[in-house]
């Protein structure tokens, strides 16, 4: 795992090569091997200096989460993370100079190895990423990152890397003081060697091990950092609502650890790491954000017998906001795009949407102007269906109207190649029904993108009743080509994400109709960790859109339609008051030209506030459990798998990752306790809280959706 060699000048090179993993990672075996190599170099009197390098494309990608996922108690945490921290402390106090020759990405523990070295030299490659992203998985850097980085670049400058997980390219890392040199890749090892021979002996002691060391910018006791902690702590609480323990633990490491010597600071870091590694919140985040999302991105469930389809040219029908976003994303991924609309001006406007997005990137220095022109040239606006010839995939993104979609389907199929796929970007209309007009329903699939397409990472791949497995496989290939995270969903009205997510605003409107104070509803939504409180969210989506969906459902179901509690609220907002949402400047909130939005005072007249109010916890429970319950129904009906349900809830509508997703919340609470709570809610508030029989059986048998 660590290749060791010395040269005639007494320079030892320790080269990372974890051959039994896809990338170099820190695990029990590689940590032990690295420790042995470090000690060998330190104890060898013939070794004058040491280069730490990698033979893989990356330097070290970070810690192996399999090691962390198995931690059950604090002692196991210390045993897992303590050895590498001890090795790095021995390395920097060895009296011999160590230089990190960073040839590729160094994240988490990989960067912590570099921070412990006496010099850091990185290859000049903008694709290299350097950072400490552990916070994004509910963890903290446990090999000295919370202690060394603030001592190197100051507390204020270190905070974004530690509590936000910021990752930077070599040039930015050099400017920040995280690395010492950026050199051409071909010169990396030679430059590391020459530094050791010329300057290494004089730099073999870290600044914080020297007498009189002073923190850059001051310690937590000095006025500037003290005020910084007050501001950051308050802002962090507002952002996380206290649900995410990792940022708080990192702040504690910095505040406490930077007031003492580094060895004591490292002990503080180990204890805070143990607190996180044993928490349910961290287990949830690792399971869903790393393992489940990784499986989805790798297309783990893709039918293996179907050959992979390589896309070169696609078409998008409809150049509105959704179609324009689709064209932009596909062009960014290197595909040629036919962007078709009813008139040329509309199609050109759709192309201009992508141009505007790229112009913003050029202005910020994130995109070269020549590359902008190349990407923009891939989009071909037109009104001519004949241009669909040669497209491997055609995505219909027109209005949510069956008649319009049927006409577009007829015209598209008449011009498409025989082996091309036709996809509908509908968000609510069942794919099976839309495919009835198709001459080849086996090649008809749903691709439900989320708005705005260029920002939202999720893609629902919808299987209609006659959609073939080959079409599903090739739709997944397309998702990967445009760098979206796909979940596979079986057909039903609104599919999975919209169906489960709708319970959040629907329950809010139900409570509003019951007389629950709207401010209480909104605050409970914030405290639950949702990205936006529910009534404000409805204003963003538009009550008019939800009202249309309600009317469509009523028309589709006829006598089978059951009046829903939120229907009266939608009718009042749209039909009675015309308060459609933010797009018209008035909805559940008022949107003054100057200043922040505020709840509309007229809500109290339209929906009188009851004298007796529920607690914030009761409101929060209803808002959150309604979503998880609908997700459980979707799983019970075979609409979606438990893994995809959780991935979809986090990426699709921002369900709190700390809970592991909509089903993860049930596992976190415990299925038996969740069922008991829903039974109580059903007695109090009606049948929408009735538990599906599959979940009731699971609770009775003590099972979970995901392995503990």
Active-site amino acid positions: 448
Q: Quick one: which of 545, 518, 500, 543 has its CA closest to 688? A: 500
Q: Which contiguous run of DSSP H or E holds residue 485?
A: strand 485-490
Answer whether 98's CB lies under 8 Å from 116's CB. Answer: yes
Q: Per the structure block, which two tokens stand in for 28?
A: 């029990």
Euclidean distance between the first and the last CA atom of the chain, given in angstroms as a whole number: 31
Answer whether 79's CB lies under 8 Å from 72's CB. Answer: no
- When computed from its CA atoms, the radius of gyration of the chain, rounded to whole angstroms, is 28
Answer whether 418's CB lies under 8 Å from 441's CB. Answer: no
Q: Encode burial over 568-590: b for 16+ CB neighbours within 10 A, e otherwise.
A: ebbebbbeeeebbbbeeebbbbb
Q: Is the dihedral of CA 138, 140, 143, 145 positive or negative?
A: positive
Number of helical (H) and strand (E) elements in the chain, helices listed first? 31, 19
Task: Provide φ and ψ at 6, rounded to 5°.
Answer: -125, 155
Answer whether 268's CB lies under 8 Å from 257's CB. Answer: yes
Helix axes 245-257, 145-153, angle to 10 degrees: 60
Q: Per the structure block, which two tokens stand in for 295?
A: 């499986």
Q: Per the structure block, which two tokens stand in for 655?
A: 């369900």
Whole-number Å distance between alpha carbons of 451 and 409: 23
- CA angle, 427 as apex, 423 and 433 as ends, to 5°? 60
Burial of 301 (0-12, 13-18, 19+ CB in 10 A): middle
**DSSP designation for 516:** -
> Is the bond into 452 cis (omega within 30 degrees of 0)?
yes
Answer whether 99's CB lies under 8 Å from 50's CB. Answer: yes
Q: Quick one: which of 42, 77, 225, 223 has its CA closest to 151? A: 225
Whole-number Å distance between alpha carbons of 197 and 9: 8
Q: Per the structure block, which two tokens stand in for 508?
A: 């809010």
Residue count (the chain): 708
HEC assignment per residue over 117-129: CCEEEEECCCCCC
**DSSP designation for 133:** G
Q: Per the structure block, which two tokens stand in for 197?
A: 């021979």
Q: Per the structure block, which two tokens stand in for 10?
A: 């007494």
Answer whether 151's CB lies under 8 Å from 262's CB. Answer: yes
Answer whether 138's CB lies under 8 Å from 286's CB. Answer: yes
H helices of 134-218, where? 145-153, 155-163, 170-176, 188-198
Q: Which residue has the tokens 């808002």?
A: 623
Q: Which contiguous run of DSSP H or E holds residue 69?
A: helix 65-69
CA distances from 37 to 43, 88, 91 (A): 10, 12, 11
Whole-number Å distance between alpha carbons of 593 and 243: 34
Task: Tell me, rounded to whole angstroms, the distance of Cα 529 from its chain centroid.
Answer: 15
Number of neighbours of residue 98 by Cβ within 10 angstroms: 29
């Amino acid at each position: 795992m660590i290749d060791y060699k010395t040269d005639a000048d007494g320079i030892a090179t320790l080269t990372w090569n974890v051959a039994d993993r896809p990338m170099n990672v820190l695990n029990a075996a590689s940590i032990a091997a690295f420790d042995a190599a470090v000690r060998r170099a330190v104890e060898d009197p013939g070794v004058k200096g040491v280069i730490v390098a990698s033979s893989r494309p990356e330097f070290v990608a970070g810690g192996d989460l399999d090691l962390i996922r198995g931690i059950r108690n604090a002692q196991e945490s210390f045993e897992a993370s303590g050895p590498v921290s001890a090795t790095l402390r021995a390395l920097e106090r060895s009296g011999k100079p160590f230089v990190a020759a960073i040839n590729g990405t160094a994240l988490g523990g990989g960067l912590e190895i570099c921070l412990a070295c006496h010099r850091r030299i990185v290859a000049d490659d903008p694709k290299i990423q350097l950072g400490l992203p552990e916070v994004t998985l509910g963890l903290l850097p446990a090999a000295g990152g919370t202690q060394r980085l603030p001592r190197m670049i100051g507390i204020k400058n270190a905070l974004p890397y530690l509590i936000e997980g910021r990752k930077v390219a070599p040039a930015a890392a050099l400017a920040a003081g995280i690395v010492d040199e950026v050199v051409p890749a071909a010169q990396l090892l030679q430059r590391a060697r020459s530094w050791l021979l010329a300057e290494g002996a004089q730099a073999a002691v870290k600044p914080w091990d020297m007498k009189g060391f002073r923190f850059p910018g001051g310690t937590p006791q000095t006025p500037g950092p003290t005020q910084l902690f007050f501001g950051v702590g308050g802002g962090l609480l507002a952002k996380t609502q206290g649900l995410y323990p990792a940022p708080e633990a990192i702040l504690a490491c910095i505040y406490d650890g930077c007031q003492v010597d580094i060895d004591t600071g490292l002990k503080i870091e180990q204890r805070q790491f143990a607190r996180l590694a044993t928490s349910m919140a961290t287990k949830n985040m690792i399971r869903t954000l790393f393992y489940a999302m990784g499986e989805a991105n790798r297309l783990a469930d893709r039918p293996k017998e179907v050959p992979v389809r390589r896309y070169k040219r696609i078409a998008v029908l409809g150049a509105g906001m959704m179609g324009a976003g689709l064209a932009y994303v596909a062009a960014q991924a290197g595909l040629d795009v036919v962007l078709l609309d009813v008139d040329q001006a509309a199609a050109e406007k759709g192309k201009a949407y992508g141009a505007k997005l790229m112009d913003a990137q050029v202005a910020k220095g994130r995109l070269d102007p020549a590359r902008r022109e190349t990407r923009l040239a891939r989009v071909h606006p037109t009104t001519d269906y004949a241009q669909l010839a040669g497209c491997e995939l055609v995505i219909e993104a027109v209005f949510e109207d069956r008649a319009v979609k049927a006409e577009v389907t007829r015209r598209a199929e008449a011009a498409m190649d025989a082996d091309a796929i036709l996809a509908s970007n509908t968000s609510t209309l069942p794919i099976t029904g839309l495919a009835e007009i198709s001459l080849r329903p086996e090649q008809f699939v749903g691709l439900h993108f989320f708005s705005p397409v260029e920002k939202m990472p999720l893609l629902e791949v919808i299987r209609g009743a006659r959609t073939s497995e080959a079409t599903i496989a090739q739709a997944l290939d397309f998702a990967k080509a445009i760098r979206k995270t796909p979940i596979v969903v079986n057909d039903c009205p609104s599919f999975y994400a919209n169906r489960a997510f709708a319970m959040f605003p629907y329950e809010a409107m139900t409570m509003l109709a019951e007389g629950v104070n709207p401010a209480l509803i909104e605050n409970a939504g914030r405290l639950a960790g949702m990205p936006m409180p529910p009534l404000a969210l409805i204003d963003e989506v538009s009550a008019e859109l939800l009202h249309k969906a309600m009317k469509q459902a009523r028309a589709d179901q006829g006598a089978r339609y059951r009046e829903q509690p939120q229907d009266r609220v939608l009718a009042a907002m749209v039909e009675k008051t015309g308060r459609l949402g933010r797009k018209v400047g008035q909805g559940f909130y008022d949107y003054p030209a100057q200043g922040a939005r505020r709840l509309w005072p007229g809500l109290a007249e339209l929906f009188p506030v009851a004298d007796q109010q529920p607690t914030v916890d009761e409101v929060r429970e209803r808002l959150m459990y309604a979503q998880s319950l609908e997700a459980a129904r979707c799983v019970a009906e075979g609409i979606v798998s438990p893994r995809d349900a959780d991935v979809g809830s986090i990426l699709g509508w921002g369900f709190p990752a700390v809970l592991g997703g909509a089903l993860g919340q049930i596992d976190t609470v415990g299925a038996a306790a969740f069922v008991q709570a829903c039974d109580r809610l059903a007695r109090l508030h009606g049948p929408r809280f009735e538990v599906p029989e599959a979940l009731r059986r699971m609770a009775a048998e003590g099972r979970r959706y995901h392995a503990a």
